[in-house]
Amino acid sequence: MRVAIGSDHGGFNLKAEIIGYLKEKQIDYHDFGTYSLDSVDYPDFARIVADAVAGGDCDRGILCCGTGIGVCIAANKVAGIRAALCHDTFSARMASEHNNANIITLGERVIGPGLACDIVDAWLNSEFAGGRHARRIEKISEIEKKNR
């Protein structure tokens, strides 16, 4: 598994903590930036990570900003992306098991680094349940196709 990770300046420190977790767990990742606390626009980084996941260069993606909301909205504009804002481990598991979320988003100003790593762990170690959930994901894909 290869994980794409990115943030704006508001999520920069949380991204660094998550990268430390990924290294510790020996999970392959690619850091798409930003690489400093200088102010940047979150849609730029959400798009880069979402494109990497949608294009198959990475299997899953993690995005951080101040709240996790902006990067979630932006990432979900990319065809094939199902980004979920997760601020607890239950939501992270359900995002994977029920929604087949291929990106999670987190807010540095909302959660601390320990909880963020627990959320990432819960999400990465959960699998899509399929079944009735697959039918629902297909309906989401149909909406996406209709609105292109």
Active-site choice (64, 86, 87, 98): 98
CATH number of 2-146: 3.40.1400.10
Active-site choice (65, 72, 86, 117): 65
Q: Is 114 among the annotated ligand-binding positions?
A: no
Q: Is 67 among the annotated ligand-binding positions?
A: yes
Q: Is 9 among the annotated ligand-binding positions?
A: yes
Where do the domains of the chain lie?
2-146
Angle subtended at Cα 33 by Cα 77 and Cα 141, rounded to the nearest 5 degrees: 20
> What string of pLDDT tens digits covers the 148 residues of the chain?
999 999 999 999 999 999 999 999 999 999 999 999 999 999 999 999 999 999 999 999 999 999 999 999 999 999 999 999 999 999 999 999 999 999 999 999 999 999 999 999 999 999 998 888 999 999 999 988 887 7
Has 65 been annotated as catalytic? yes
Q: How far is CA 132 from CA 62, 84, 115, in A?
A: 26, 19, 30
pTM above 0.85, yes or no: yes
